[in-house]
Chains A and B, each alone.
Chain A
């Protein structure tokens, strides 16, 4: 089939997407909420990768972060608390042609949905998971979350949180089949974008923990890190994050870290201060569950009928006179 060059250009123009093609509504997050920065980075990524809106699905659970899909002009699934991951897995299993993103919070992922988190890492299905970690329950008005630091005063811990905060990166890095783990902070947009882009390009489950400010309930908690660039440790590597000169000039605490080194990744993951930012672990070789489960069998009426008839044969009692058919084929 030949296509006129002009038509080709027109089609390219038609299929090219601008930022507005991914924007839907006015986000109802608080001013200064880290979710806004994540949304901007993701919309930019969609534009730069020219993702077709109808082939892209954002899946979320419940919480401030989980409003995310509503602000994307793609398909979205704003489900129930803690279950974003299994919903996304079902979508991925049914539709390998879709781009699947998951937006989940520290309560959604690390508390009520913790079982699914562990198993999602193990399934390693191709999707990009963003953990919006603000270390507090925001939508329900300030209760301690599993990632809240010890001593944090909240409505359910007026005397301070009793337990050490759970570190999502060390947990993720401890699960078999982990294939991509990164950490970002909402206040360095350029690096946030680069990390989400690397996560998107990884085939398998990419897990990005994004430390995120909550101006409403914990307005000052991350201030020391926001205001002192030296308290951010950027992880750089030719197979990981490559820094622009501007970023390098401001954020001088850096470590050259090879993302294939899982042992070092685990050590880095347990560092809370300075905050490590970058790609901790990347292994492109881990198989994806949806591909392991693909038996390569076409689904068509003919196959289903043949399969069903073969099964019926196994269980059929034939009438005595039907001699020619009397032997079950199984």
Chain B
């Protein structure tokens, strides 16, 4: 189906359209501090692999990189469809890149329909350079020709710098089936455009296709070289983004792989899961490596079984983990309540997606914070932490396991679809024995010791693990006393609730106040959590460069919250949270202070600290852009 072009907004023409072939071979490279590149194709044409490989090459070259997957919601969306574009977005920089950035500077598109998808969602800069596959101009299907030509002309008219490239034709000079190799041709063009070392690219391809052998590597390298050559000869521009190579080894993985590596490093032995987007890739990767170190990934029959299987494993051994996303997280609630009541350590990883219900499986949202803190009926105190970077994803699992076992609590790790699918290099971790879980206690329990001998100050009690002689008791989800006997008397019920709650306070006492990004006082404090950190700090940095008195604070611990937050907030005239969840627009026609729904973190901060915290949120299924945040903060600063 060919969509029409009527919806393209006409934008001011900033650059003349240039069509390539006449360009000179020797051309000076324009030096840039950063650039955002996209490669987009029909699903199955390999744009994602091209993007990932390009990101890896850029890392090898020493550039800061942040890559984000562009994922259609369906596995095989129809070819040439606006909603079916699949690909990758790579932000390259001279220094460290902390987020996906703003609009795209340069895009390679394999057809005009998938490109339209990006244009319509406002992802491209007004003067974005578009390298467009031109084969559609010669299609035998007239409707395709019409669509292509109309779209092309409209895009040119709208101010985009469109360059038509006969990718299919050029690839066919190298391989028979261009559909399967165009992505490497595109990769070659990108390497030329960004002045990358072709040899590094060849090596990266060898690494990417390593398992498949030389017969696969050779044609891909040929295509890479063809693309490189074509761009060198036919394009009249070239960029160079000076790189500052790290002197330390760096790891390049996405957030979901980092979470799985964290599971390995935490010493946990059992991961129980049920397939759910966008969390499943954590388990895919873990399944491929866990057995090598004696671990097991159990794919349970449903989310409830995954949670209760992990609870059973935790109860009888080391802390276990279950990995899920929104709908699965809802299903696990009764199990989580049981772990809270029985004081069984448990790590629950929730890679958040758009909700409620099935929502937007492949899109990012920070909608599960309240469900994580308050989920499950009754008072069910849990620890909630949110990684903010890819590196955090790795370490947060290690921290979660430790807290879970020290406090016999449920620890929820709130990642999201953006972190899950983004790549950013981080320092290769130095293995530490302290990461691992200690062997389970099988020592004899002293006579008279009680299974819930709650410390009156901290609420903590030593748990008895099956195998410990003298520790025999029946753990129950019913209200119970210190002997784990079912107890309905008022005193026992209160004692249990108090102890389980106190553990949060005991943990809170051990937390450090998070650092303020920027000055410790000023006009406006921005507070965020999770994957928005990079974008928020970039916006704050830009505003500070303009002389604005803005700082930001990013919370890793959402429950309990670290000490000292109120004192930080009080040093600013205004406080606002930026989050990827719903909040009512205060200017809405029927919205006022008595009915406005605040975002999750703002609500938590307002209720706990009695400070007038405002919020601004976006739920567009995409990472929030730094320039959007910048605009919002400027508005907030100007508000009286």
A74 at the interface (CB under 8 A from B): yes
Interface residue count for A (Cβ, 8 Å)? 65
List 11 additional contacts besides A72-B474, A86-B312; criterion CB under 8 Å: A73-B472, A77-B475, A78-B474, A86-B309, A87-B308, A95-B316, A97-B467, A119-B305, A306-B293, A312-B261, A317-B56
Chain B residue at minimum C-beta to C-beta distance from A290: B296
**A317–B56 Cα gap in the complex (Å)?**
8
Q: List 23 A-B contacts (CB under 8 A).
A: A59-B312, A75-B471, A76-B473, A77-B474, A78-B476, A80-B477, A86-B306, A90-B310, A90-B312, A90-B314, A93-B298, A95-B466, A95-B467, A115-B305, A293-B296, A299-B269, A301-B433, A304-B267, A312-B261, A312-B428, A316-B249, A317-B60, A317-B246
A91 touches which one: B312, B342, B428 (CB < 8 A)? B312
A227 at the interface (CB under 8 A from B): no
Known pairs A119-B305, A320-B245; A91 contacts B313 (CB<8 A): yes
Known pairs A54-B467, A54-B468, A80-B477; A94 contacts B247 (CB<8 A): no
**A310–B433 Cα gap in the complex (Å)?**
16
Among residues 24 to 76 in chain A, which have CB atoms less than 8 Å away from a CB atom of chain B? 24-25, 52-55, 57-59, 69-70, 72-76
A319 at the interface (CB under 8 A from B): yes
What B residues does A118 contact at CB under 8 A? Answer: 301
**A325–B428 Cα gap in the complex (Å)?**
14
Smallest beta-carbon distance A324→chain B, Å:
12
Interface centre among B62, B257, B313, B314 (most CB of A within 10 A): B313
Smallest beta-carbon distance A74→chain B, Å:
5
Among residues 71 to 106 in chain A, which have CB atoms less than 8 Å away from a CB atom of chain B? 72-80, 83, 85-95, 97-98
What A residues does B252 contact at CB under 8 A? Answer: 315-317
B338 at the interface (CB under 8 A from A): yes
Among residues 462 to 498 in chain B, which have CB atoms less than 8 Å away from a CB atom of chain A? 466-478, 485-486
Q: Is the CB of B60 within 8 A of A83?
A: no
Q: Is the CB of B472 within 8 A of A75?
A: yes
What B residues does A86 contact at CB under 8 A? Answer: 300, 304-306, 308-309, 312
What A residues does B310 contact at CB under 8 A? Answer: 90
Q: Is the CB of B470 within 8 A of A318?
A: no
B320 touches which one: A52, A79, A90, A115 (CB < 8 A)? A90
B466 touches which one: A83, A98, A307, A318 (CB < 8 A)? A98
A298 at the interface (CB under 8 A from B): yes
Q: Is the CB of A316 within 8 A of B468?
A: no
What A residues does B320 contact at CB under 8 A? Answer: 90, 94
B30 at the interface (CB under 8 A from A): no
**A287–B316 Cα gap in the complex (Å)?**
23
Smallest beta-carbon distance A323→chain B, Å:
13
Known pairs A54-B471, A79-B338, A322-B249; A89 contacts B312 (CB<8 A): yes
What A residues does B56 contact at CB under 8 A? Answer: 317
Q: Is the CB of B466 within 8 A of A78?
A: no
A297 at the interface (CB under 8 A from B): yes
Q: Is the CB of A312 within 8 A of B301?
A: no
Q: Is the CB of A311 within 8 A of B261?
A: yes
What A residues does B267 contact at CB under 8 A? Answer: 304
Q: Is the CB of A311 within 8 A of B289?
A: yes
Q: Is the CB of B301 within 8 A of A116?
A: yes
B212 at the interface (CB under 8 A from A): no
What B residues does A317 contact at CB under 8 A? Answer: 56, 59-60, 246, 249-252, 425
Among residues 448 to 471 in chain B, which have CB atoms less than 8 Å away from a CB atom of chain A? 466-471
Chain B residue at minimum C-beta to C-beta distance from A97: B467
B264 touches which one: A55, A95, A308 (CB < 8 A)? A308
Chain A residue at minimum C-beta to C-beta distance from B318: A94
What B residues does A162 contact at CB under 8 A? Answer: none
Smallest beta-carbon distance A144→chain B, Å:
23
Chain A residue at minimum C-beta to C-beta distance from B468: A54
Interface centre among B246, B293, B313, B470 (most CB of A within 10 A): B293
A159 at the interface (CB under 8 A from B): no
A295 at the interface (CB under 8 A from B): yes
What A residues does B316 contact at CB under 8 A? Answer: 57, 90-91, 94-95, 98
Q: Is the CB of B309 within 8 A of A297?
A: no
Interface residues of B (CB under 8 A from A): 56, 59-60, 62, 207, 210, 245-253, 257, 261, 264-265, 267, 269-270, 272, 289, 291-296, 298, 300-302, 304-306, 308-318, 320, 334-335, 337-338, 342, 425, 428-429, 431, 433, 436, 466-478, 485-486
**A203–B62 Cα gap in the complex (Å)?**
57
Q: Is the CB of A311 within 8 A of B294?
A: no
**A55–B316 Cα gap in the complex (Å)?**
10
Known pairs A83-B335, A94-B312, A307-B264; A54 contacts B470 (CB<8 A): yes
What B residues does A228 contact at CB under 8 A? Answer: none
Q: Is the CB of A90 within 8 A of B313?
A: yes
**A117–B317 Cα gap in the complex (Å)?**
24
**A57–B293 Cα gap in the complex (Å)?**
27
**A288–B270 Cα gap in the complex (Å)?**
17
**A245–B117 Cα gap in the complex (Å)?**
82
**A86–B308 Cα gap in the complex (Å)?**
6
Chain B residue at minimum C-beta to C-beta distance from A325: B249
Chain A residue at minimum C-beta to C-beta distance from B253: A315
Smallest beta-carbon distance B298→chain A, Å:
7
What B residues does A311 contact at CB under 8 A? Answer: 261, 264, 289
What B residues does A74 contact at CB under 8 A? Answer: 472
Smallest beta-carbon distance A103→chain B, Å:
11
**A312–B251 Cα gap in the complex (Å)?**
7
**A78–B471 Cα gap in the complex (Å)?**
16
**A90–B477 Cα gap in the complex (Å)?**
17
**A85–B316 Cα gap in the complex (Å)?**
14
Q: Is the CB of B294 within 8 A of A298?
A: yes
Q: Is the CB of A319 within 8 A of B293?
A: no
Known pairs A88-B312, A93-B270, A93-B298; A295 contacts B291 (CB<8 A): yes
Known pairs A74-B472, A322-B249; A301 contacts B467 (CB<8 A): no
A158 at the interface (CB under 8 A from B): no
Smallest beta-carbon distance B314→chain A, Å:
7
Q: Is the CB of A307 within 8 A of B289?
A: yes
A328 at the interface (CB under 8 A from B): yes
Q: Is the CB of A319 within 8 A of B466?
A: no
Interface centre among B270, B309, B429 (most CB of A within 10 A): B309
What A residues does B466 contact at CB under 8 A? Answer: 54-55, 57, 75, 91, 95, 98
What B residues does A11 contact at CB under 8 A? Answer: none
Could you give, for residues 273-307 of chain A, a 1 whenever the CB lies within 8 Å of some chain B CB and a 0 otherwise? Answer: 00000000000000000000101011101011111
What B residues does A116 contact at CB under 8 A? Answer: 301, 305
What B residues does A79 contact at CB under 8 A? Answer: 308, 311, 338, 342, 475, 477
Interface centre among B246, B305, B428 (most CB of A within 10 A): B305
What A residues does B431 contact at CB under 8 A? Answer: 305, 308-309
